[in-house]
């Protein structure tokens, strides 16, 4: 037995000494001290030994173990200290300090504002059921509005959602009325890409349902939200716009931020910029989600977050946003 132990110790020390890397030392450790090591197997035999042998071998095994552990730890420290010597912190590195993506920043800005106005943030799946994306929003299979929202269909007949509006339905069916939610998220459409069209973009859906909610409430909330977003005294106006899930539906314009409404090239001399479709929720949409339109009314809006980020950071090509090209993205001087 003693001979066996001597050999184990000698082998172990030899291997520790010749180890070059931390990983080598750890391998030696598990080979000689691990549960399946020869030493551990021999130790199991102690219980079958005579009392005298136990007195000898018990402490001997312990000593061997602690000595080997010590030796291994010394070797590890030695290797680690050598690594430190090679680390020259004065050498230049390629690392750059990152920043949040422009879309993440505007999404956070807007949701922070809406949270203060009492909105709850919700979200839903990007792979959506046809029912939530279209049917429950008063867009039946044969409706021409589906043409404007061509998307990617999945093999199980689900689709990539074309807008954040399905969150309206999910929220109504989960929480019923009264309700005040917003839902930022990624949307998809089958688009030919150019500087202002992407297959993937971001929107933020907003929805308020309560008793006696009117168009005045819609205007008040939108104006309040946009004033805070742009940190200036923007005016809003509504033009008629068609969306099957609202009645009446509007295109909301805000006074041009560049010229203050006087007329410039950005607003094509009109003084207004088209910003956010919205409207009073269609009774069919409320009914479909078990909310009685005789008792409750509400409004909804779909703010284009991608558009907002492009306006805020003066990004002229939408494709930059999803490109992952840090050289381009870091041009926007984002705080």
Residues at the site binding ligand DAH, with contacts judged by CB under 6 A: 163, 165, 205, 243, 246, 249, 277-279, 300-302
Residue number closest to ligand DAH, CB atom: 302
CB closer to ligand DAH out of 188 and 313: 188
Q: Which is nearer to ligand DAH, 165 or 289 (CB)?
A: 165
Separation CA 259–CA 331 (nearest Å): 24
Separation of alpha carbons 150 and 129, rounded Å: 14
For residues 171 and 155, give the distance between their C-alpha atoms in angstroms, rounded to a whole number. Answer: 26
Smaller CB separation from ligand DAH, 160 or 246: 246
Q: Which is nearer to ligand DAH, 300 or 320 (CB)?
A: 300
In the complex, what is the shortest distance from the CB of residue 187 to ligand DAH, in angstroms, rounded to a whole number? Answer: 7
Between the two ends of the chain, the Cα-to-Cα distance in Å is 70
Q: By C-beta, is 188 or 243 nearer to ligand DAH? A: 243
CA-nearest of 311, 313, 307, 306 to 330 is 313
> For ligand DAH, which is the closer residue by CB, 138 or 165?
165
Q: What is the 3-state secondary structure (H, E, C) of 257-315?
A: CCCCCCCCCCCCCCCEEEEEEEEEECHHHHHHCCCCCCCCEEEEEEEEHHHHHHHHCCC
Q: Which CB, 151 or 255, lies closer to ligand DAH?
A: 151
Query: Which of 279, 282, 285, 283 lies closest to 300, judged by CA?
Result: 279
Shortest reach from residue 168's CB to ligand DAH, in Å: 7
Least distance between ligand DAH and beta carbon 282 (Å): 9
Rounded to whole angstroms, the Cα distance separating 146 from 135 reads: 10
Q: Residue 199: which of 144, 303, 126, 102 has the closest Cα?
A: 126
- Residue 280 Cβ, how far from ligand DAH at the closest point, in Å? 8
Nearest by Cα to 277 from 257, 298, 256, 300: 300
Q: For residues 180 and 118, is the Cβ–Cβ distance under 8 A?
A: yes
- Least CB distance to ligand DAH at residue 273 (A): 16
- Residues ≥6 apart with Cβ < 8 Å to 240: 248, 249, 250, 251
272 φ, ψ (degrees, to nearest 5): -130, 150
Smallest separation (angstroms) from ligand DAH to the CB of 189 = 9
Please, what is the minimum distance in Å from the beta carbon of residue 330 to ligand DAH? 30
**Least distance to ligand DAH, CB of residue 145, Å:** 9
Closest CB to ligand DAH among residues 168, 255: 168
């Amino acid at each position: 037995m003693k001979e066996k132990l001597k050999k184990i110790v000698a082998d172990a020390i030899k291997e520790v000494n010749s180890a070059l890397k931390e990983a080598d030392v750890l391998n030696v450790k598990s080979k000689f001290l691990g549960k399946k090591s020869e030493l551990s197997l021999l130790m199991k035999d102690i219980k079958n030994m005579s009392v005298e042998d136990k007195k000898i071998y018990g402490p001997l095994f312990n000593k061997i173990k602690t000595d080997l552990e010590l030796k291994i730890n010394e070797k590890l420290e030695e290797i680690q200290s050598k690594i430190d010597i090679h680390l020259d912190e004065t050498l230049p590195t390629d690392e750059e300090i990152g920043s949040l993506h422009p879309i993440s920043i505007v999404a956070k800005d807007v949701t922070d504002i809406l949270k203060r106005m009492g909105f709850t943030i919700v979200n839903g799946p990007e792979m959506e059921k046809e029912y939530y994306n279209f049917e429950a929003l008063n867009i039946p299979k044969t409706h021409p509005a589906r043409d404007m929202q061509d998307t990617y269909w999945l093999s199980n007949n689900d689709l990539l959602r074309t807008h954040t509006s399905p969150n309206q339905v999910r929220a109504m069916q989960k929480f019923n009325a009264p309700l005040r939610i917003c839902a930022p998220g990624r949307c998809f459409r089958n688009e030919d890409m150019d500087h202002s069209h992407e297959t993937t973009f971001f929107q933020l859906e907003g929805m308020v349902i309560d008793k006696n909610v009117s168009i005045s409430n819609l205007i008040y909330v939108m104006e309040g939200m946009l004033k805070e977003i742009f940190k200036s005294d923007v005016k809003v106006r509504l033009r008629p716009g068609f969306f099957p899930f609202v009645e009446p539906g509007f295109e909301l314009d805000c006074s041009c931020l560049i010229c203050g409404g006087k007329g410039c090239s950005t607003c094509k001399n009109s003084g207004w910029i088209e910003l956010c479709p919205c409207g009073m929720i269609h009774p069919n949409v409320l009914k479909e989600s078990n909310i009685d339109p005789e008792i409750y009314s509400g409004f909804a809006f779909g703010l284009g977050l991608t558009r907002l980020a492009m306006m805020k950071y003066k990004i002229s090509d939408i494709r930059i946003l999803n490109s992952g090209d840090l050289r381009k993205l870091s041009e926007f001087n984002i705080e």
